[in-house]
Structure 1
């Protein structure tokens, strides 16, 4: 029998960590090796526990799961990160997947689905909850339907915002990178949505890919 997959759980809610601890204890394929209550603790926890897979919450009070994912993979590119969150919007999934996560599950997933995703991630597969997959498909279809041969012109700053969105940065992180207010970032994104006829971050990235502005 192969060794169990070593799992680190990261979530700011103690009840969620308790539930995941129980799920993992019930399955011989996985073994809990550590926990963290915030993204700021993740790298230290990883260094102490040396996990194969990190189950990562996205919304945490100090360091977000997106940034924590980047930090984990900077520490060890071979470590696998599976996001486990309440968010079902496709642009949230895109953010953490662009940051390097190999899976995205919603928290109403069953224990078997969560453990299966951990094992699949360790084996090198990518796992996304069905409801989020459906939104990805719809977004691709909508982007294709709204495609135009000549894309409206954008400013250099707006193009830079799109590049950073594609890298998975949040509005706050984009503002810090570009050294201007978060409100300005939001205004730029609203303008991009308007001139391109799209509605969200995923559609922005898909549209930018179609016209060759970025490469995924």
Structure 2
């Protein structure tokens, strides 16, 4: 058997840490090297115990998991961070993946799934809970490229249209600004609606804001 993967737990919930500790200590493939209750001291603990993988909660009282993920990777870019959270929103998943996490698991995951995620993360594979397999989260995890969050499958013209919609321009005005037929603009908007699973211009703007394509 190879060397066990060194794991650090970062979670402010005593019960969660106890549950993770209970099954991590019974699997020879991993070794629990430390625990933290907040992201504020995570770098200090990492320096002391040198984890290979950090299981990172997202919602913590002082320094949350997204900022703590950045700090861990600033300490050692080869360390792997797997978010382990109750939060199921697409935007939260994207934010922590953009911060550098290589996986996103829900706390409802089975112990075997968490162990497998730790082992996969250690070998630089990317993991995501089945419950978070929306297209954009899946593509973000699979690619490892933060830029995919901004493109989200849009071509250059569609991206321009989204940005112009956010300024309040009508379809006619957008067509004139881009020198396209108005019918082309309408067709592109229908495709954006279908791709993003939204139904109107307001929802397009809200989704674009979430993804960082536009700023209101």
Task: Answer yes or no: same fold by TM over 0.5.
Answer: yes
Q: Which segments of structure 1 move beyond 2 Å, counting only runs of 4 or more?
A: 134-140, 147-151, 193-196, 198-205
Per-residue displacement from partner, 1:69-118 (whole Å, max 9, x unpaired)? Answer: 00000000100000000011111000000000000000000000000000
Task: Report the Cα distance in structure 1 between the residues aligned to 2:130 and 2:209, rounded to whole angstroms.
Answer: 17
Query: Cα 1:138–1:39, aligned 2, differ >3 Å: closer, same or farther?
Result: closer
Unaligned stretches of 5+ in structure 2? 140-148, 168-199
Is residue 204 from structure 1 mapped to residue 211 from structure 2 by the alignment?
yes
Paired residues of 2:94 and 2:137 also in contact (CA < 8 A): no
Quote the offset at 1:125 in angstroms. 0.2
Are the counterparts in 1 of residues 11 and 38 from structure 2 also a CA contact under 8 Å?
yes
Distance 2:109 2:18 in 1: 16
User: What is residue 166 of structure 1 aligned with on the other side?
Assistant: none
Q: Which has the higher contact order (CA 8 A, sep 6+)?
A: 1
Matching of residue 52 in structure 1 with residue 52 in structure 2 = yes
RMSD (Å) for aligned C-alpha atoms = 3.1
Aligned length, in residue pairs:
169
State how far apart, in whole Å, the 2-side matches of 1:47 and 1:109 are. Answer: 29
Q: TM-score, normalised by structure 2?
A: 0.69
What displacement does 1:136 show?
A: 3.1
When normalised by structure 1's length, the TM-score is 0.69
Aligned residue in 2 for 1:152: 164
Contact 1:143 1:198 in 2 (8 A): no
Instruction: List runs of 5+ in structure 1 lacking aligned partners.
Output: 156-192
Q: Match of 1:26?
A: 26
